[in-house]
């Protein structure tokens, strides 16, 4: 497996004060103070595309998820009266750039890239998946493989640790903050960071012993275990974090208000039972879409960004 030392991204992570304020790019306005881009007041700046482009967060095999989302996208088309096209993105950076450029209208952005998508691409998040009882979220785990010589987190010193991408919460931001705060371990000083690009890649890399350890989202691991992509005897967990919000789904800020309302209605009226979406995401305990706000539900993620001393320079 190819190990990427650098990952292309449309943002630069720059040192800032730990109490840095979250801000939108200058191209967006937030007059109501809810931390997301306002819908343009000028109707001439609102868009009403004939075909809606939808993307799910980057995964190892986008073709699998094209089928997983197919029934939902049919429902989305029926609810909005629009054609709908699935867009298989290859990276968080490409997904964010596509929405910023107006080529992507509806998308699920992973936990860590949500703030970047909000700040730099005008994403308006409104929902995420939850269990039947309304509970939601996942944990970051640091994993290794049996007989790797790594018995606990401290044993990663002097070795490689696979991250996913610099925009990922569980794949980079949260473990970086935790390793520094709890173990006094800093990437590039106490261990060698490598970037796999995706959680699937990191999990497979550990299972195949290409990486000695990796920081991953256990929701992805659970789905891969359920599909027998990897097996329990290939993975050893060294650390499990607090619970974080999962993939947040949202809309490009400049879609017409009535279209945004119709898209939201499609998410909340979708019947999961018997669908490919239920079959796939029930593996990680999810059974419905629930309303969220970026201001409330992503507060812990913005705090992690601040603890890491990062800010987004949108380009």
Helix or strand (DSSP H, E) at 179: helix 174-183
For residue range 20-38, what is the model confidence (pLDDT) as tens digits? Answer: 578 899 999 999 999 999 9
pLDDT for 15 equals: 32
Q: Tell me if 43-135+245-308 shares its fold with 138-244.
A: yes
Which carries the bigger pLDDT value, residue 10 or residue 58? 58
Q: How sure is the predictor about 265, in pLDDT bands with cuts at 50, 70 and 90? A: very high
Report yes or no: 313 and 11 within 8 Å, Cβ to Cβ.
yes
In this predicted model, which residue has the larger pLDDT, 130 or 9? 130
Higher pLDDT, 262 or 14: 262
Confidence of residue 278 (pLDDT cuts 50, 70, 90): very high
- pLDDT per residue over 288-309, tens digit each? 999 999 999 999 898 888 888 7
Provide the 3-class DSSP secondary structure of residue 295. helix
pLDDT at position 166 over 60? yes
Closest of 99, 96, 127 to residue 113, by C-alpha: 96
Mean pLDDT (whole number) for 36-59: 96
- Choose which CATH entry (3.10.310.10, 3.40.190.10, 3.30.470.10, 3.40.640.10) describes domain 138-244: 3.40.190.10
Q: Is the pLDDT of residue 3 over 60?
A: no
In terms of Cα–Cα distance, which of 99, 97, 93, 107 is closest to 55? 107
Mean pLDDT computed over 257-264: 98
**Please, are residues 150 and 159 in contact by the beta-carbon 8 Å criterion?**
yes
Residue 11 confidence (pLDDT) above 50: no
Q: Percentage of the chain with pLDDT > 90?
A: 78
**Please, which residues bridge with residue 4 across strands?**
195
Higher-scoring residue by pLDDT: 159, 6: 159
Q: Is the pLDDT of residue 105 over 70?
A: yes
Q: What integer pLDDT is reported at residue 7 of this predicted model?
A: 29
Task: Provide the Cα torsion 71, 76, 77, 83; round to 10°.
Answer: -100
Beta carbons within 8 Å of 141's beta carbon, 6+ residues apart: 170, 215, 216, 217, 218, 221, 237, 238, 239, 240, 241
Architecture of domain 43-135+245-308 in this structure = 3-Layer(aba) Sandwich (3.40)
Q: What percent of the chain has pLDDT over 70?
A: 93
Specify the pLDDT at position 303. Answer: 84
CA distance 94 to 284: 26
Strand, coil or helix: what is 313?
A: coil
pLDDT the model gives residue 14: 32
Domain positions in the chain are 43-135+245-308, 138-244
| Confidence band of 6 (pLDDT split at 50, 70, 90) | very low
Question: What is the predicted pLDDT for the residue at 18?
Answer: 39
Query: What's residue 5's pLDDT?
Result: 29
pLDDT at 270: 98
pLDDT over 50 at 75, yes or no: yes
**What is the pLDDT of the chain when averaged over all its residues?**
90
282: pLDDT strictly greater than 80: yes
**pLDDT of the residue at 313:** 73
């Amino acid at each position: 497996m190819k190990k990427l030392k650098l990952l292309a991204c449309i943002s630069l992570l720059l040192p800032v004060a730990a109490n840095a304020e979250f801000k939108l790019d200058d191209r967006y306005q937030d007059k109501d103070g809810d931390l997301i881009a306002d819908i343009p007041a000028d109707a001439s700046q609102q868009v009403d595309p004939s075909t809606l482009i939808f993307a799910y967060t980057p995964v190892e095999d986008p073709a699998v998820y094209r089928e997983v989302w197919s029934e939902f996208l049919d429902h989305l088309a029926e609810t909005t009266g629009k054609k709908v096209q699935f867009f298989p993105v290859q990276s968080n950076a490409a997904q964010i750039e596509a929405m910023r450029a107006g080529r992507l209208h509806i998308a699920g952005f992973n936990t860590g890239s949500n703030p970047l998508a909000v700040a730099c691409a005008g994403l308006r998040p409104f929902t995420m998946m939850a269990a039947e009882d309304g509970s939601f979220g996942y944990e970051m785990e640091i994993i290794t493989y049996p007989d790797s010589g790594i018995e606990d987190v401290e044993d990663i010193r002097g070795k490689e640790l696979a991250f996913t991408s610099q925009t990922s919460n569980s794949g980079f931001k949260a473990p970086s903050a935790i390793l520094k705060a709890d173990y006094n371990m800093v990437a590039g000083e106490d261990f060698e960071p490598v970037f796999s690009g995706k959680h699937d890649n990191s999990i497979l890399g550990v299972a195949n012993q290409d990486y000695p350890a990796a920081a991953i989202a256990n929701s992805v691991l659970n789905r891969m275990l359920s599909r027998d992509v990897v097996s329990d005897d290939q993975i050893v967990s060294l650390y499990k974090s607090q619970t974080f919000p999962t993939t947040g789904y949202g809309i490009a800020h400049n879609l017409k208000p009535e279209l945004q309302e119709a898209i939201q209605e499609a998410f909340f009226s979708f019947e999961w039972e018997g669908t490919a979406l239920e079959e796939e995401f029930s593996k990680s305990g999810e059974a419905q879409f629930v309303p969220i706000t970026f201001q409330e539900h992503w507060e812990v993620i913005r705090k992690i960004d601040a603890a890491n001393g990062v800010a987004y320079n949108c380009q």
